[in-house]
Amino acid sequence: MKNVLDSVLEEKHQGSFEFTAKDLKSGADVRWCAGCGDFSVLAQVQRIMPTLGIAKENIAVISGIGCSSRFPYYMDTYGMHTLHGRALAIASGLKIARPELSVWVATGDGDCMSIGGNHFIHAARRNVNMNVLMFNNGIYSLTKGQYSPLSLKGQITKSSPLGVLDDPFNASALALGAGSSFVARSYDKDAKLMKVVLERAARHNGFAFVEIYSNCVIFNDGAYDGYTTKENRFDNTVNLEHGMPLVFGKDLEKGIKLDGFRPTVVSLTDGKHSKDDLLIHDEADTTLAAILADMTYNPTVPQPMGVFHAVDRTPYDQRTTEQLEHYAIQPGAGDMNALLKGNDSWEIK
C-alpha cells in the first residue's frame, strides 16, 4: 500500500501555479483596530508571497495568541491559530514533518519572548527553516495594555501605573545569542524596507527572525515614532546593506564609525571623515551583528534596520530528512517483521 500522505501530495497541481495578493485574502474581516501597524505587514506578506515561486497550497502560517496572531485567519493559505507562546513548537513539528512546505510564524513580542521564550531560543538554535515575523508593539494589546518583555523601563501601562521596573529584552541580540541564522528588523511605516526584508527572510534557508516595529494605536501609540515617522527616520535609523558603509541622514550626510567596538556617529560633511572611515556591513560577521543589535537601546546612534545577520547553516528539518535518507538504504530498512521479532526471540513449536 502506498503511503496515504504521499499519494495525496503526488496529485498534480491543476492549472497555473500563479496567484496574486488578492488570492491570499481569506475573506474573513480583518479585525485589527483602524491604524494598527499589523495591516502593513499583512499587505507586504500578501505582496511578496506570490513572487516566491511557491505554490499557494504549500504555504502554512502558524500563530500563537495575541492581536498579531490573528494573522493566519486573514490569509488564504493553510493556517493554524494555536496556543499562547506555542506557535514556534507547532511550526517546528510541521516543518520537520513536511520540509517542503513554506512555514511562516506570526507572533507578538509577548507571545514570542515571554510565554514562548523557550520555544523561540530552541527553534533558533535548531535552525528550523521557517520565517518568524515578530510583530513588536511593545505591549500586550489583546489583554488591553499590560507591559511586555519588550516594553521600556519606566513605561506606564495598565499593569505598571508607576512605571515598568524591568529592562526589556533586546530582541535581535536574543535571537543572535540563540543562534538564529537570519536576524532582521523592519517597521510598519516603511513598506519598501519591509518588502525587502520579508523577501530576504522568505528566501533564507534556515530560521529567519524578523522583528517588526508595529504601532499599537490604542495601548502604545507612538512608541516607535522617534525612529519611524517621516520626520525622524532619516536621522534615527540606519538601513543596513551588505558590503556597504553605514550611512544615514536625509542626504546620507552621516555615517557610523567603529571606535573600538563602540559605534559612533560621524559627519561626512565636516571634512573630518569620509565613507572610507565607516563601518562596512557584513551579514556573515557574528561579532558585527552583535554590535548592531546592541545599538537598539543606545540613544547616541540610530536604530539599525534591515538584515543584521544572515549565514548558511543546514536547517534541522533538512538534517532530519538527510538522516532518514541515509538510513533508508541500510539493510533491513522497513522490514517490519524483523523489527517485531527483535534480536532475542525464540520459537515454540
Closest CA to 311 of 108, 124, 174: 124
Q: Which three cell numbers stand for residue 199?
A: 523577501
Among 96, 150, 202, 289, binds other proteins (CB under 8 A): 96
Partners of residue 184 on adjacent β-strands: 210, 307
Rule CB under 8 A: say whether 50 interacts with other proteins.
Answer: no
Binding segment toward other proteins, per CB under 8 A, in 8-16, 179-187, 188-196, 237-245: 8-16
Rule CB under 8 A: say whether 323 interacts with other proteins.
Answer: yes
Among 89, 175, 238, 289, binds other proteins (CB under 8 A): 89
DSSP code of residue 283: T
Looking at beta carbons only, is 121 or 247 nearer to other proteins?
A: 121
CB of 260 to other proteins, least distance (A): 37
Rule CB under 8 A: say whether 287 interacts with other proteins.
Answer: no
Helix (H) or strand (E) segment spanning residue 185: strand 182-187
Rule CB under 8 A: say whether 57 interacts with other proteins.
Answer: yes
Rule CB under 8 A: say whether 162 interacts with other proteins.
Answer: no
Between residue 9 and residue 38, which ones bind other proteins under the rule CB under 8 A? 9, 11, 13-14, 26, 28
Binding segment toward other proteins, per CB under 8 A, in 38-46, 194-202, 218-226, 328-336: 328-336
Looking at beta carbons only, is 8 or 162 nearer to other proteins?
A: 8
Task: Count the neighbouring beta carbons within 10 Å of the beta carbon of residue 172.
Answer: 26
Q: What angle do helix axes 87-97 and 316-328 make, rounded to 10 degrees?
A: 30
CB-based contact 59:47 (threshold 8 Å): no
CB of 24 to other proteins, least distance (A): 9
Helix (H) or strand (E) segment spanning residue 291: helix 286-294
Rule CB under 8 A: say whether 345 interacts with other proteins.
Answer: yes
97 exposure class (CB count in 10 Å sphere: 0-12, 13-18, 19+): exposed
Closest CA to 180 of 171, 189, 188: 171
Give the 3-state secondary structure of residue 172.
helix
Q: How far apart are CA 98 and CA 122, in angstroms?
A: 19
Binding segment toward other proteins, per CB under 8 A, in 135-143, 209-217, 237-245, 318-326: 318-326
Q: What secondary structure does DSSP assign to 56-93, as a single string?
A: GGGEEEEE-SSSGGGGGGGBSSEEEE--TT-HHHHHHH
Partners of residue 239 on adjacent β-strands: 305
Rule CB under 8 A: say whether 118 interacts with other proteins.
Answer: yes
Nearest 5 degrees, angle CA 147-CA 151-CA 125? 105
Draw the binding track, 173-202, toward other proteins (x: CB under 8 A; -: no contact).
------------------------------
Looking at beta carbons only, is 47 or 273 nearer to other proteins?
A: 47
CB of 298 to other proteins, least distance (A): 31
Write out the residues near other proteins by the rule CB under 8 A: 1-5, 8-9, 11, 13-14, 26, 28, 55-60, 62, 65, 72-73, 75-83, 86, 89-98, 100-101, 118-119, 121-122, 320, 323-324, 327-328, 330, 332-334, 336-337, 339-349
